[in-house]
Amino acid sequence: MAKLSKGTAGEVLAARFLREKGYEIWAANYGCRFGEIDIIAAKEPYIAFIEVKTRSEDSIYEPREAVTKDKQNRIIKTAMLFIKNNRIELQPRFDVIEIITRNRRPMEVVELDHIQGAFDAGDLHAAF
């Protein structure tokens, strides 16, 4: 049996969590020339562009700390291209789901936090 990476396990757990909360998953690992978005999900009135960060319980920093300003900018540009190409009329929102798992057990969740509106498009929105 193939070993599941921590990142892949986190994305599976995040998608399961979102479905349980009534979100419809539109895309996973959506990529373009600007970057990649882990999960694109909709729950009216929002379309959520979600970055999933997973760490073990012995990590020295919070998973959300890995979503740097540069990473946010790449996600925003990718999301704007997705919106433009798909004529999305829902309100965009940028979320982070951080997952802390047991050491060496990537599918065993210690804590899951869905940070809605973790960052916004700011000045980059005007470029589109």
Distances from the Cα of 43 to the Cα of 6, 57, 92, angstroms: 26, 30, 11
Structure tokens at 121: 């498009």
Distances from the Cα of 53 to the Cα of 3, 6, 18, 27, angstroms: 18, 9, 15, 17
Residue 46, H or E segment = strand 46-56
pLDDT at 126: 52
d(CA 91, CA 19): 19
Domains of the chain: which residue ranges?
6-127
Confidence class for position 125, pLDDT limits 50, 70, 90: low
For residue 1, pLDDT over 50 is answered with: no
Q: What is the pTM of this model?
A: 0.90
Nearest Cα residue to 15 out of 78, 95, 103, 80: 95
User: Which one of 1.10.1760.20, 1.20.1090.10, 3.40.1350.10, 3.90.1150.10 gives the CATH number of domain 6-127?
Assistant: 3.40.1350.10
Residue 13, H or E segment = helix 6-20
What confidence tens digit (pLDDT) does each residue in 64-100 have? Answer: 889 999 999 999 999 999 999 998 989 999 999 999 9
